[in-house]
């Protein structure tokens, strides 16, 4: 998925996606270690997606780019 597609999501969705990707990477690494993973490129793609998500979260923290939030603004 491209970074522009991630930017259309809300902050809560991005945080949930981050935890989902971490879990997927863990499972893919486990499958790879046991020889059950057929497509190793899925692991690389999941790592890159996680890096994109983490970059968006960090940009939001630094105020470089604000993500849409469902939380009420003060």
Q: Which domains does the chain have, with CATH numbers?
A: 3-62 (1.10.287.310)
CA distance 18 to 33: 23
Burial of residue 30 (CB within 10 Å: 0-12, 13-18, 19+) is: exposed
10 phi and psi angles, rounded to 5 deg: -80, 165
pTM for this prediction: 0.86
Per-residue pLDDT, averaged over 18-31, amounts to: 97
SS3 content of the chain, % helix, strand, coil (to 5): 70, 5, 30
pLDDT at 74 exceeding the cut of 70: no
CA distance 39 to 68: 34
pLDDT at 70 exceeding the cut of 80: no
């Amino acid at each position: 998925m491209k970074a522009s597609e991630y930017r259309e999501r809300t902050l809560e969705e991005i945080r949930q996606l981050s935890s989902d990707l971490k879990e997927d990477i863990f499972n893919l690494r486990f499958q790879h270690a046991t020889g059950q993973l057929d497509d190793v490129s899925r692991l690389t793609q999941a790592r890159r997606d996680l890096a994109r998500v983490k970059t968006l979260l960090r940009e939001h923290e630094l105020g470089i780019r604000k993500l849409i939030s469902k939380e009420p603004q003060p």
